Amino acid sequence: MNLLGELLTAGGGFLLAVLWFDLIFDTQALGAPRDGPLPEPVLASIAAYYKRVTTDANPMGRLVGAGMMCTIACAVLDLFVGKSALVWRIVSLPLLGVPVFFAARRIFPNAQRLGARTDPVEEQSRLARSIARDHVACLVAIVAFLAVQLLG
């Protein structure tokens, strides 16, 4: 594996680790009944986590965004100068790009909003469930991205 491939694998591993930590809290929403609001202890736990990682952790919280951008930049560069088969280089870009786009445009704003706890409980529950589903989809994509990097 060349340096670019190693950077892509490291970036994908970093994003997988971030998702893992998020999913530790998200599983509370996934395991709760789908109808009605989440129980207050569950909602409080998830919201407190997202408040810490989206608001209280600044500027360290920006490290995740920087990791995403560096990995995207490496994937774009790899598309043009990479050593693996072109098909794998083409496939890996959306497997990485879609989760990063979701994180920036949907997951992060929803997590900030949930962490603020200013919405009614029903909306907070909807946000928690939405974040959890989005994270599961991102997990699948990042695992596939890593598989392409390691096997392609």
Q: Which two tokens stand for residue 143?
A: 């695992």
Q: Which of 92, 95, 68 is nearest to 82 (CA)?
A: 92
Q: What integer best gives the mean pLDDT of the chain?
A: 94
Q: Which amino acid is at 133?
A: R
Contacts of 27 (CB under 8 A, 6+ apart): 132
Res. 61 pLDDT band, cuts 50 70 90: confident
Contacts of 39 (CB under 8 A, 6+ apart): 32
User: Tens digits of per-residue pLDDT, 92-106?
Assistant: 999 999 999 999 999
Q: What is the pLDDT of residue 73?
A: 97
Q: What is the pLDDT of residue 1?
A: 72
User: Tens digits of per-residue pLDDT, 40-52?
Assistant: 999 999 999 999 9
